[in-house]
């Protein structure tokens, strides 16, 4: 079977992260500038290759001061590292679920990550485009990627947790 290419539909996709703040609440952020493609041998996506990239300067948490801090050298260092990237190494199917493994690069630091993927299905939209939907979830250590800024509360707790949850709802268009 011939290779099929799928490109992300940014207007129907969300790339989010969640991190604990003061260990009592969660801050949610997102990236609005992102690209992604999927190369598959068939419509079932088994063994597909996935690449993803997000622009650091598009980060948004709903608070401009916090966003600027995240872009600074304390965190993502957007001046020197404009994008984060992901390249898959495996995409294994089990029912409607997939296990996605690959290499995530942030601030020049590359580490393997695993994401759980729920396949929402494939459908032809009213304009004749074939689209596929997925929801991805996983966790990473921000410090492993060089996002090491840390401060402590008066009680000695972390202001920002090391664990970051990744949550994505993505829609791809068959080319």
pLDDT exceeds cutoff 60 at 157 = no
57: Cβ–Cβ under 8 A, 6 or more apart, which residues? 33, 71, 78, 82
pLDDT of residue 162: 83
pLDDT of residue 1: 64
Domain ranges across the chain: 4-174
pLDDT of residue 167: 98
How do strand 83-94 and strand 4-8 relate by DSSP bridges?
unpaired
Residue 58, φ and ψ in degrees, nearest 5: -95, 5
Q: Across residues 7-22, what is the average pLDDT?
A: 93
Lowest mean pLDDT among 4-13, 125-134, 147-156: 147-156
pLDDT of residue 143: 87
Q: Across residues 16-45, what is the average pLDDT?
A: 90
How do strand 97-106 and strand 160-174 relate by DSSP bridges?
unpaired
Mean residue pLDDT across the chain:
91
pLDDT of residue 20: 81
Residue 43 · residue 4 · CB < 8 Å: yes
100: Cβ–Cβ under 8 A, 6 or more apart, which residues? 50, 88, 90, 91, 114, 115, 116, 117, 136
Fold adopted by 4-174: Lipocalin (2.40.128)
Q: For the chain, what percent of residues have pLDDT higher than 90?
A: 74
pLDDT exceeds cutoff 60 at 70 = yes
């Amino acid at each position: 079977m011939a290779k099929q290419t799928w490109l992300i539909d940014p207007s129907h996709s969300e790339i989010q992260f969640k991190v604990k703040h003061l260990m009592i609440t969660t801050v949610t952020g997102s990236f609005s500038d992102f690209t992604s493609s999927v190369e598959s041998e068939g419509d079932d996506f088994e063994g597909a290759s996935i690449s993803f990239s997000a622009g650091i300067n598009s980060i948004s948490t709903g608070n401009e001061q916090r966003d600027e801090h995240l872009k600074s050298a304390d965190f993502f260092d957007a001046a020197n590292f404009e994008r984060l990237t992901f390249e898959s190494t495996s995409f294994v199917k089990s029912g409607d679920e997939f296990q996605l493994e690959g290499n995530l690069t942030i601030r020049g630091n590359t580490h393997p990550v695993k994401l759980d993927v729920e396949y929402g299905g494939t459908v032809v939209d009213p304009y004749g485009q074939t689209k596929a939907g997925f929801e991805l979830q996983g966790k990473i250590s921000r410090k492993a990627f060089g996002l090491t800024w840390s401060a402590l509360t008066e009680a000695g707790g972390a202001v920002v947790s090391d664990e970051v949850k990744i949550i994505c709802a993505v829609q791809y268009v068959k080319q």
